Chain A
């Protein structure tokens, strides 16, 4: 039996949409996530677990910030940059945010062109996404250097106020930056596969030995958008609080 037959939703309940389809899908045999390639479903499950990891980081940050009796350092001033003799608050973080959003846009279009089997455009857009990601990591390295070398921020203390600022900052942005770096690496790998036509020729992957499909680009996209999504939360609760 073809896999598509297994996944087909012949049950009238499943076709109805809404709550009955939810119940029918979850109580059916073999596959709960119909019409979803399993690689994509598994990426979603991974992202869910990653959500909990980042959720715990942000929660612990919230807890230490609310419970300290020492004033919290002002992110608005710490992350200000002096451009052309004028001190602009939080400008570096704003630029990083725009870069990451732009990379998310190019990623979404890479997925779209991939499904249209426009190999060249998809690969180029993936590389552009990787480039924006690398720019983001570069700016983060600049930010860390400025904080550690010039301003003496350490995980156990800093000259501005509450000691927990350093540990929260390095833990949260470090883990996010690591996710971006891994994403850039995989973007380059997927771009190479798209460029070479692996997904047109269904060439088997070197690690999984599965036939190459353009859904790999969408799965890559899910991860990349998630990295952007986490940054939205970090930007709001760490930098703007």
Chain B
């Protein structure tokens, strides 16, 4: 598949898909060269996942199932974009950790704000509710 794609493209220089397998030529340092096929596959997957997450709303799925499905599709899509389209799987660990770990720490912030919002909600209910 990969070879076929390279032949049809009539690529002037045949390079290995992974830099780790063969040392890249000096002028090719840092270049990301992969077969076209993988982009089409990921593209198709993103379309399918987007359709699924749209259907979650279309069929009015509610409750925890809705939340689970939405978040799973969101994380899968985000992962595919970062890993393949942004070439993160082919980068060195030093860059991967430097970029991906800090956003994960935002989850601590999310947890803090969930507590804060719950507290605000309960005090609003307590003091501002117009009920009997």
Set of chain B residues within 8 Å of A22, measured between Cβ atoms: 93-94, 97
A41 & B95 in contact (Cβ 8 Å cutoff): yes
A90 & B106 in contact (Cβ 8 Å cutoff): no
* 8 Å CB interface, A92-127 against B: 94, 97-98, 101-102, 104-105, 107-109, 111-112, 115-118
Set of chain A residues within 8 Å of B110, measured between Cβ atoms: 59, 62
Set of chain A residues within 8 Å of B102, measured between Cβ atoms: 48, 51-52
A105 & B128 in contact (Cβ 8 Å cutoff): no
Nearest to B121 among chain A residues (CB) is A67
Of the 9-residue stretches A25-33, A131-139, A150-158, A178-186, which lies at the interface with chain B? A25-33
Selected from B11, B92, B99, the residue in CB contact (under 8 A) with A25 is B92
Set of chain B residues within 8 Å of A81, measured between Cβ atoms: none
A36 & B93 in contact (Cβ 8 Å cutoff): no
Given contacts A36-B30, A236-B70, contact A69 B114 (CB under 8 A): no
- Inter-chain CA distance A97–B26, complex, in Å, is 40
Given contacts A63-B116, A236-B74, contact A34 B124 (CB under 8 A): no
Set of chain A residues within 8 Å of B58, measured between Cβ atoms: 89-90
Nearest to A24 among chain B residues (CB) is B94
Q: Tell me, rounded to whole Å, the shortest Cβ–Cβ distance linking A176 to chain B.
A: 15
Set of chain A residues within 8 Å of B124, measured between Cβ atoms: 67-69
Interface size of A by Cβ–Cβ distance < 8 Å?
70
Q: Does B78 interact with chain A (Cβ within 8 Å)?
A: yes
Q: Does B89 interact with chain A (Cβ within 8 Å)?
A: no
- Inter-chain CA distance A2–B26, complex, in Å, is 10
| Interface core residue of A2, A35, A52, A228 (most chain B CB under 10 Å) | A35
Set of chain B residues within 8 Å of A222, measured between Cβ atoms: 86
B113 & A32 in contact (Cβ 8 Å cutoff): no
Set of chain A residues within 8 Å of B46, measured between Cβ atoms: 101, 104-105
Given contacts A116-B9, A232-B78, contact A101 B92 (CB under 8 A): no
A240 & B53 in contact (Cβ 8 Å cutoff): yes
Q: Does B63 interact with chain A (Cβ within 8 Å)?
A: no
Nearest to B88 among chain A residues (CB) is A44
| Cβ proximity bits B40-73 to A, threshold 8 Å, 1 near / 0 not | 1011001100100110111000000010001101
- Inter-chain CA distance A233–B54, complex, in Å, is 13
Nearest to B93 among chain A residues (CB) is A22
| Cβ proximity bits A44-66 to B, threshold 8 Å, 1 near / 0 not | 11011001100100010011111
Binding site for A on B (CB under 8 A): 9, 11-12, 19-20, 26, 29-34, 36, 39-40, 42-43, 46-47, 50, 53-54, 56-58, 66, 70-71, 73-74, 77-78, 81-82, 84-87, 91-95, 97-99, 102-103, 106, 109-110, 113-114, 116-118, 120-121, 124-125, 128-129
Binding site for B on A (CB under 8 A): 2, 4, 7, 17-19, 21-22, 25-26, 32-37, 40-41, 44-45, 47-48, 51-52, 55, 59, 62-69, 76, 89-90, 94, 97-98, 101-102, 104-105, 107-109, 111-112, 115-118, 214-215, 218, 221-222, 225-226, 228-229, 232-233, 235-237, 239-241
Given contacts A48-B103, A218-B32, 10 further A-B pairs with CB under 8 A are A33-B92, A36-B91, A36-B95, A65-B117, A89-B57, A104-B81, A108-B84, A115-B33, A118-B9, A215-B30
